[in-house]
Amino acid sequence: MHDRRTRCRAHACTLLLWLCAATAAHADSVYRCRSPRGEIAYQDRACGAGEQQSEVALAPPPPTSAATHERVQAVREHPPAAPRKGRRTRGDRAGRTDMSWQCRAADGAVFYRHDACPKSIAPSQAAAGGGRRGKGAPAVSVSATPLPRAEACRRLARERGRSGREHDEVVSTYERNAGRDPCRAY
């Protein structure tokens, strides 16, 4: 009887260890599949027929702290308030319209910024003509005129061939995809 109980415990422990190992292996691995055309896909299940398969092991996620757990719990209990509906646009917060700047250089170049204009810039290639350019050329002063963000965004999109375009504040593709484009609402 004692021997039978010991074997049952051993089998139960072995089964538990196999179950834990199988769960851990499944959670920490990904399959890399390459199709006959060379396309690569990462997925959580085995690759299809005719695809080259390799298994990629992933590091386990870092343990969560008690503080993180408390913050998540607080958000679940008290979700942020829904935005109020009204006649305000996305760029208009608390009755204030977001502003951008039209920057006009002394050499006639016009460019747009969402932050303040610089005090001076290097002379533009078109305005410099046959004069000095590059490091030795004197800086050109810039004046700034406030402009509603919506209008600045329209002008940035529409005025392609103007002098000064190289000084525009242009958002990179990464910033645009990350949702940090000041013109996304217009």
Q: Specify if 170 maps to a domain.
A: yes
H or E element in which residue 9 lies: helix 2-27
Cα–Cα distance measured from residue 28 to residue 57, given in angstroms and rounded to the nearest whole number: 6
Range of the domain at 148: 98-177
pTM metric for this prediction: 0.44
Q: Residue 79 corresponds to which amino acid?
A: P
Q: Specify if 68 maps to a domain.
A: no
Q: Specify if 40 maps to a domain.
A: no
Number of domains in the chain: 1
Q: What pLDDT, on a 0 to 100 scale, did the predictor assign at position 125?
A: 54
Q: What is residue 121's three-state secondary structure?
A: strand
Tokens linked to 149: 């963000």
Q: Specify if 132 maps to a domain.
A: yes
Give me the DSSP letters along 12-35.
Answer: HHHHHHHHHHHHHHHHTEEEEEE-
Per-residue pLDDT tens listing for the chain (186 residues):
556 666 656 655 565 555 555 554 445 678 889 999 888 888 888 888 899 999 888 777 777 777 777 777 776 776 666 655 554 455 445 556 789 999 999 888 888 898 888 898 887 654 545 455 556 678 889 999 999 999 988 888 887 777 788 888 888 888 888 888 888 877
Q: Residue 174 corresponds to which amino acid?
A: Y
Q: Specify if 75 maps to a domain.
A: no
The tens digit of pLDDT for each residue in 126-166 reads: 454 545 555 667 888 999 999 999 998 888 888 777 778 88
Q: Specify if 182 maps to a domain.
A: no
Q: Specify if 143 maps to a domain.
A: yes
Cα–Cα distance measured from residue 97 to residue 172, given in angstroms and rounded to the nearest whole number: 24
Q: What pLDDT, on a 0 to 100 scale, did the predictor assign at position 144?
A: 92
Q: Specify if 12 maps to a domain.
A: no
Cα–Cα distance measured from residue 80 to residue 74, given in angstroms and rounded to the nearest whole number: 10
Cα–Cα distance measured from residue 38 to residue 66, given in angstroms and rounded to the nearest whole number: 45
Q: What pLDDT, on a 0 to 100 scale, did the predictor assign at position 26?
A: 44
